[in-house]
Every structure is written in C-alpha cells, then in structure tokens.
Amino acid sequence: MDFERAREIFSSDERIKVLHNGTPIWIENLDDDKNSATIKPLNGNIGTSQVPVIDLEEG
C-alpha cells in the first residue's frame, strides 16, 4: 500500500479492511518520516507493532 492510501484509510470514517501478512489489522498511527504505520491486530492478540506501510494490503 502506498502512504497516501494509508493516510486516507486512517482518516476515513468508514471501516476499511486492511491486512498485514494476511491478518486483519487496525491502523493506530502513521509516521510519514519513517513511512511506517503502528498497527494493532484484530484477531484478539494484544499489543501494537510498527511496520512499513508498503507491507499493508487493502483487503
């Protein structure tokens, strides 16, 4: 995913499905300096991770 699309999804009022390595996630925050996203898995796992935005897929 490109950073601009991640920003659109992050700012959207709609719930848009996003995947990281096949796992549904929620974008918690974006870091344009690092071109990364802080994500939270929606599968019940606890915690957040910082990943490159390019690793995210709209699903």
The 10 Å Cβ neighbour count of residue 37 is 28
Closest CA to 58 of 8, 34, 33, 45: 8
Average pLDDT over residues 18-42: 97
Q: Which residue type, as a one-letter code, is found at position 52?
A: P
Write down the pTM of the prediction: 0.91
Q: Domains plus CATH for the chain?
A: 3-58 (2.30.30)
Average pLDDT over residues 43-59: 95
Average pLDDT over residues 8-29: 97
- pLDDT at 15 (0 to 100): 94
49-52 vs 56-58, strand pairing mode? unpaired
